[in-house]
């Protein structure tokens, strides 16, 4: 019998100053980030021990720190920064990051802008 484990954290909210336009950098806005991780091991399912699992509280804090850090122009770049960092910091074999910018200055009514990056170890 095989088992696949995935960890999802949806809607991490961070106020930040990313964007190409000067007013985006000056005013800032709330970004939301969804994270999906595939751990290298599913051992935590059996042991019930955090030492054998990915600490998703630590993941969320790390994501918030990156997104709330130095401004970047493009969501693509931001999503990739987060993905690469998580791959290096946690025992995961795959990371999928979606960055939402619901207040993007598009000039037309819209629901959300979402950029997704997926990386494998």
1 falls within a domain: no
Q: Which domain holds residue 84?
A: 7-120
Which token pair is 60? Answer: 């969320």
Query: How many distinct structural domains can be found in the chain?
Result: 1
43 falls within a domain: yes
63 falls within a domain: yes
Coil/strand/helix, residue 59: helix
pLDDT score for 15: 98
Distance CA 16, CA 51 (A): 32
Cα–Cα distance list, 101 to 9, 44, 70, 83 (Å): 17, 34, 16, 17
CATH number at residue 32: 3.30.1130.10
pLDDT score for 83: 98
Q: What is the pLDDT along the chain (121 residues), one digit of tens a residue?
A: 889 999 999 999 999 999 999 999 999 999 999 999 999 999 999 999 999 999 999 999 999 999 999 999 999 999 999 999 999 999 999 999 999 999 999 999 999 999 999 999 9
pLDDT score for 12: 98
pLDDT score for 86: 98
88 falls within a domain: yes
pLDDT score for 2: 87
pLDDT score for 32: 98
Q: Among residues 18, 96, 100, 101, which one is catalytic? A: 101
pLDDT score for 118: 98
Query: Is 101 annotated as catalytic?
Result: yes
């Amino acid at each position: 019998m095989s088992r696949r484990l995935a960890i999802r954290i949806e809607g991490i909210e961070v106020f930040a100053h990313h964007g190409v336009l000067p007013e985006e950098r000056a005013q800032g806005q709330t970004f939301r980030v969804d994270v999906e991780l595939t751990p290298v091991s599913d051992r935590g399912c059996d042991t019930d021990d955090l030492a054998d699992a990915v600490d998703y509280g630590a993941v969320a804090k790390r994501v918030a720190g990156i997104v709330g850090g130095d401004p970047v122009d493009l969501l693509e770049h931001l999503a990739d920064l987060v993905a690469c960092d998580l791959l290096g910091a946690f025992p995961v074999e795959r990371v999928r990051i979606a960055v939402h910018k619901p207040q993007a200055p598009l000039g037309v009514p819209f629901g959300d802008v979402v950029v997704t990056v997926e990386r494998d170890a």
